Amino acid sequence: MAGRKKTEEANQEQKLSVEEAFSQIEDKIQALDSDDISLEDSFKEYQEGMKLLKYCHDAIEEVEQKVQKIAQDGSLEDFE
């Protein structure tokens, strides 16, 4: 069952644009800044925020690699 949950989370993240993910990260930060958040909830928000940050980092890195490949040879091939 745990494997299925990870797959569902990965599918949900793939549907997000980087901008949407950053917006969700901002929401997580605001929740963490709240005075009435429990320790358990703060850990959950932090953990989800870190997953979103990794998603954004990976997405930006992929685009960066595509741009570098285009810059090197002028072609429009996708980076693999």
Residue 64's pLDDT is what?
A: 87
Q: Cα dihedral sign for 43, 47, 49, 50?
A: positive
pLDDT average per 10 residues of sequence, the chain (80 residues)? 50 76 96 94 96 95 84 63
CB 55 within 8 A of CB 13: yes
CB 21 within 8 A of CB 13: yes
Instruction: Quote the pTM value.
Output: 0.68
